[in-house]
């Protein structure tokens, strides 16, 4: 190993996207290896709007593995972190940086400690899948630091052991997590179905729903479902295999009506499984149900789907619009039904790609107040609005997979000390 007295620090920074499942993963056949009972398919979301940035560092001066999440120290003692670290260490290779006089051999990695700092560019409290981007970024960045010579598929199998949905964040675009058959999980990996440019008409609007309720974690929820839901067994054996084939076809053919039908049906069935669990799990709330009803009515009145909805283990809606025009019309409807609190300004209510607001003809709060009711719900009298029931919207699109950030100003750890900046 290099001269200990030099106390060098070697760092890597990476950025990894989050993803939203359109065919859901719910239920494990192996809890510790995180092996799913069915395949799942997701869309990777544009990291410009939702992503995790992680810096990992190694130095002979570190006396233990440590991690900081959004600036606060976070214990790395959990089994899932330990498993990912162990898998990566066992695959590490020699690293040599002549300029800095650093030479690390494959064997050195067993004794060297790492520092990890991670930051989400979206509020963690929003209940958006942060563990997917988080574990994917941890695995991707450590693999680079440790010179792990594995393809993204193999890395996805490591990220999977941190959090199931994380394996799908190793790729951009449209991704399938193949459940696999092997007991050791070696064939339970993510594969890319199509990259983010394949279907770039799609626009994604996330409605972050106000909620005070503490939700059941996905891990606990799916454990209860596996133990008690008969519907889950039927879904995994009979329903999902057919849907996976149909969804792959729909994505390949840019067939939005099929994509939307399958996405909505699968979200609804996942929530039906939650209700079929004992005790029942309620992830959606009244606001979620109102959003579903708004989309269903509009889609029906148009004669073909304009927007698909999907909900994970929480009340937030992820809405996939077939194109920019549909996204603008969707935003008009949602802003009409769910105006922000009176003191909120529009720029902090609609985040992400704000150009959709322009398309919707909404520049400021006055425009929001002047919106007319969607024609398909005009007959509802009196027409109710639900002010403040949505915290904010994020407009985004399908996005790319993980990337390395070479600019040191983007690193979260100090390059001299290896501690958070
Ligand atoms: C509803 O990946 O968070 O978002 O594997 O226990 O960490 P663990 O669960 P997690 O579950 C995600 C469930 C879901 C559906 C999905 O993303 O496919």
Distance 281 CA to ligand 1 centre (A): 15
Distance 311 CA to ligand 1 centre (A): 12
* Nearest by Cα to 139 from 171, 94, 183: 171
Q: Spell out the SS3 assignment of 88-123.
A: HHHHCCCEEEHHHCEEECCCHHHCCEEEEEEEECCC
**Ligand 1 pocket by C-beta < 6 Å: which residues?**
21, 24-26, 34, 40, 129, 131, 163-165, 218-219, 312-313
126-154 pLDDT, tens digit each: 667 678 999 999 999 999 999 999 999 99
Pocket test for ligand 1, best of 19, 165, 269 (most atoms within 8 A of CB): 165
Pocket test for ligand 1, best of 41, 159, 164 (most atoms within 8 A of CB): 164
- What pLDDT, on a 0 to 100 scale, did the predictor assign at position 57? 98
Distance 313 CA to ligand 1 centre (A): 8
The domains found in the chain, sorted by start residue, are: 4-195+406-410 (3.30.230.10), 203-396 (3.30.70.890)
pTM for this predicted structure = 0.96
Q: Tell me the C-alpha distance between 22 and 187, whole Å.
A: 21
78-107 pLDDT, tens digit each: 999 999 999 999 999 999 999 888 999 999
Least confident of 58-72, 163-177, 281-295, 330-344: 330-344
Q: Tell which atom from ligand 1 comes closest to the C-alpha of 34.
A: 5
- What pLDDT, on a 0 to 100 scale, did the predictor assign at position 126? 61
- What pLDDT, on a 0 to 100 scale, did the predictor assign at position 121? 87
Q: Tell which atom from ligand 1 comes closest to the C-alpha of 219.
A: 6
Q: Tell which atom from ligand 1 comes closest to the C-alpha of 166.
A: 2
Residue 75 has pLDDT above 60, yes or no: yes
- What pLDDT, on a 0 to 100 scale, did the predictor assign at position 247? 99
222-248 pLDDT, tens digit each: 999 999 999 999 999 999 999 999 999
Distance 224 CA to ligand 1 centre (A): 14
Distance 26 CA to ligand 1 centre (A): 7
378-404 pLDDT, tens digit each: 666 567 899 999 999 999 999 999 999
Q: Tell which atom from ligand 1 comes closest to the C-alpha of 19.
A: 17
Chain centre distance of CA 16: 10
Residue whose tokens read 């941890």: 138
Distance 8 CA to ligand 1 centre (A): 38
DSSP string, 5-45: GG---EEEEEEEE-EEEEE----EEETTTTEESS-EEEEEB
Distance 174 CA to ligand 1 centre (A): 17
Distance 93 CA to ligand 1 centre (A): 31
DSSP string, 185-237: -TT--EEEEE-TTTTTT-EEEEEEE---PPPPPHHHHHHHHHHH-HHHHHIII
Q: Tell me the C-alpha distance between 191 and 168, whole Å.
A: 8
Residue whose tokens read 């799913």: 36
């Amino acid at each position: 190993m290099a001269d200990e007295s030099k106390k060098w620090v070697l760092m890597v920074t990476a950025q990894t996207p989050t993803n939203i499942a359109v065919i859901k993963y719910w239920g494990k056949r192996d809890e510790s290896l995180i092996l799913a009972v069915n395949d799942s398919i997701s869309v990777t979301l544009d990291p410009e709007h939702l992503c995790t940035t992680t810096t990992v560092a190694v130095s002979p001066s570190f006396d233990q593995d440590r991690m900081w999440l959004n600036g606060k120290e976070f214990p790395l003692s959990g089994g899932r972190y330990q498993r990912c670290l162990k898998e990566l260490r066992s695959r590490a290779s020699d690293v040599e940086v002549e300029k800095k006089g650093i030479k690390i051999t494959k064997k050195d990695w067993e004794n060297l400690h790492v520092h990890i700092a991670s930051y989400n560019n979206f509020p963690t409290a929003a209940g958006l899948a942060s563990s997917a981007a988080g574990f994917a970024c941890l695995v991707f960045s450590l693999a680079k630091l440790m010179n792990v010579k594995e393809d993204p598929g193999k890395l996805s199998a490591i990220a999977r052991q941190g959090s199931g949905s994380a394996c799908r964040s190793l790729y951009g675009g449209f991704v399938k997590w193949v459940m696999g058959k092997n007991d050791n999980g070696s064939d339970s990996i993510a594969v890319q179905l199509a990259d983010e440019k394949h279907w770039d008409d799609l626009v994604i609007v996330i409605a972050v729903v106000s909620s005070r309720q503490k939700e059941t974690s996905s891990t606990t929820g799916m454990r209860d479902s596996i133990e008690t839901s008969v519907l889950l067994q039927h879904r995994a054996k009979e329903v999902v295999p057919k849907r996976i084939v149909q969804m792959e076809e729909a994505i390949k053919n840019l067939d939005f009506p099929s994509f939307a039908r399958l996405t909505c049906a699968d979200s609804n069935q996942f929530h039906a499984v939650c209700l079929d669990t004992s005790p029942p799990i309620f992830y959606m709330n009244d606001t979620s149900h109102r959003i579903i009803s708004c989309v269903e009515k509009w889609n029906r009145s148009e004669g073909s789907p304009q927007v698909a909805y999907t909900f994970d283990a929480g009340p937030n809606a992820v809405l996939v619009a077939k194109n920019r025009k549909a996204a603008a019309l969707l935003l008009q409807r949602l802003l009409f039904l769910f105006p922000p609190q009176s003191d909120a300004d529009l720029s902090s209510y609609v985040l992400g790609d704000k150009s959709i607001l322009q398309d919707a003809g909404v520049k400021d709060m006055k425009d929001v107040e002047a919106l007319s009711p969607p024609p398909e719900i005009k007959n509802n009298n009196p027409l109710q609005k639900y002010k403040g029931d949505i915290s904010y919207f994020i407009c985004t699109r399908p996005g790319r997979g993980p990337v390395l950030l070479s600019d040191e100003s983007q690193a979260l750890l100090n390059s001299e000390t290896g501690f958070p900046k």
